[in-house]
């Protein structure tokens, strides 16, 4: 998988972990961005291959960069498949998968495509028509694609991403057990509008006795701690952190999370069973964040606040959810029911079974399946 963002790399890592456990050597194509390098460095037992590429931006310069990146990624991945004797490619959506996917097809390799969001973009539609298997979220099909090649799977979470007891999580973060904690996150790049909302409402939140742990994003404001006076003169501590490698600890410590609605963020929220208010990014491709958030809301796992309504209603909604223990208990119960368990193991089993059923294992080198994701 050639990843343009953390949301595409993390499911690739999860799948590679499961494939390696089953004796299937795997390599992960990653972008040359710092966020990918930082995350991949945490997994020295996996094999990462930096690959050039550029997102598709509809401007003359953007199209030129994309075509240049496509050509380089096509040639480099084509040569790489031959070098390692790869048997199949798994792509995790997006235009950045074009080069590796087309190179795999040119070599006669089967291509598997995974779409985590509840909207299928043009890139995935194009690649799906040329894939052996298409993985979509629960209940989704795709017009023009045979249901026989579609399997419904959720978002694979890395094996080390586990919900931990609230008390232990708070001890790790240095947060008091009695604090009411609002976690705010906008993905690895942060969300400027969420950061701005927190800064504009930090005093009002403190007066309610609400502490904040805000992940600002690596390219945004620097880290820091703010202490303000809360109810009855008590000190309320809020923390601003640019990035964390321990998102499971942060979410496990939270009473409520305010978040964007990417597929990865929602899967992590479900795994940690933390009630959430989701603010979909309004300019997300194919409005996929709104569709993701709507699905969670329909399942009773969280609520939506549209970005253009934040200033009007968000503070009241945070208060309402934070001080309604019964409502949050219902949300946690529904989130528990939504947890799909070890998705990456299920994906790995289906991949290997599919190759066996299509007799593609006859050509495997030394009887070992070699996967590139």
Integer Cα distance of 255 and 170 in angstroms: 11
Q: Could you tell me the CA-to-CA distances from 299 to 251, 302, 317 in Å, in that order?
A: 20, 8, 19
- Domain 166-338, CATH class in plain words: alpha beta
Six-digit token pair at 373? Answer: 């994701």
Residue 221 confidence (pLDDT): 60
- Domain 6-154+341-372, CATH class in plain words: alpha beta
Domain ranges of the chain: 6-154+341-372, 166-338
Six-digit token pair at 324? Answer: 């309604």
The answer, yes or no, to whether residue 360 has pLDDT greater than 80, is no
Lowest mean pLDDT among 37-51, 164-178, 183-197: 183-197
Residue 174 confidence (pLDDT): 95
Integer Cα distance of 9 and 205 in angstroms: 34
6-154+341-372 against 166-338: fold identical: yes
Lowest mean pLDDT among 85-99, 160-174, 261-275: 85-99
What's the pTM value of the predicted model, to 2 decimals? 0.92
CB 113 within 8 A of CB 134: yes
CB 167 within 8 A of CB 22: no
The answer, yes or no, to whether residue 165 has pLDDT greater than 90, is yes
**Residues 218-276 pLDDT 10s:** 776 668 899 999 998 899 999 999 888 899 999 999 999 999 999 999 999 999 999 99
Q: Are strands 26-30 and 47-50 parallel, antiparallel or unpaired?
A: parallel
What phi and psi values does residue 190 have, to the nearest 5 degrees?
75, 180
CB 105 within 8 A of CB 80: no
Higher-pLDDT residue of 256 and 357 is 256
Integer Cα distance of 271 and 258 in angstroms: 16
Q: Could you tell me the CA-to-CA distances from 297 to 7, 239, 261, 275 in Å, in that order?
A: 21, 28, 11, 11
- Which of helix, strand or coil describes residue 26? strand
């Amino acid at each position: 998988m050639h990843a343009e963002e953390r949301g595409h790399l993390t499911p690739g890592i999860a799948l590679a972990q499961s494939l390696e456990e089953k004796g299937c050597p795997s390599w992960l194509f990653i972008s040359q961005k710092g966020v990918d390098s930082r995350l991949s460095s945490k997994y020295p037992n996996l094999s990462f291959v930096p690959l050039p590429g550029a997102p598709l931006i509809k401007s003359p310069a953007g199209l030129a960069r994309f075509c240049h990146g496509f050509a380089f990624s096509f040639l480099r991945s084509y040569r790489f498949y031959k070098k390692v004797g790869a048997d199949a490619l798994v792509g995790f959506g997006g235009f950045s998968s074009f080069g590796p996917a087309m190179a795999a097809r040119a070599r006669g390799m089967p291509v598997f495509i995974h779409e985590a969001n509840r909207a299928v973009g043009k890139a995935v539609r194009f690649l799906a028509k040329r894939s052996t298997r298409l993985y979509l979220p629960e209940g989704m099909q795709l017009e023009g694609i045979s249901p026989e090649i579609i399997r419904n799977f959720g978002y694979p979470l890395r094996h080390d991403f586990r919900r931990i007891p609230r008390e232990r999580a708070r001890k790790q973060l240095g947060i008091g057990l009695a604090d009411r904690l609002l976690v705010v996150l906008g993905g690895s790049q942060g969300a400027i509008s969420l950061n701005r909302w927190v800064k504009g409402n930090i005093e009002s939140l403190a007066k309610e006795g609400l502490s904040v742990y805000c992940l600002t994003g690596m390219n945004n404001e620097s880290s820091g701690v703010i202490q303000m006076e809360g109810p009855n003169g008590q000190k309320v501590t809020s923390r601003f952190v640019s990035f964390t490698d321990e998102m499971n600890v942060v979410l496990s410590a939270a009473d409520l999370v305010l978040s964007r609605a990417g597929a990865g963020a929602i899967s992590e929220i479900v795994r940690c069973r933390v009630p959430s208010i989701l603010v979909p990014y309004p300019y997300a491709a194919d409005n996929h964040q709104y569709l993701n958030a709507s699905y969670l809301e329909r399942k009773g796992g969280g609520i939506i606040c549209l970005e253009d309504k934040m200033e009007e209603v968000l503070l009241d909604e945070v208060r309402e959810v934070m001080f309604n223990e019964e409502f949050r208990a219902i949300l946690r119960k529904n989130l528990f029911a939504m947890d799909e368990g070890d998705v990456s193991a299920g994906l790995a089993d289906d991949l290997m079974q599919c190759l066996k059923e299509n007799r593609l294992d006859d050509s495997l080198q030394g009887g070992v399946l070699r996967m590139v994701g």
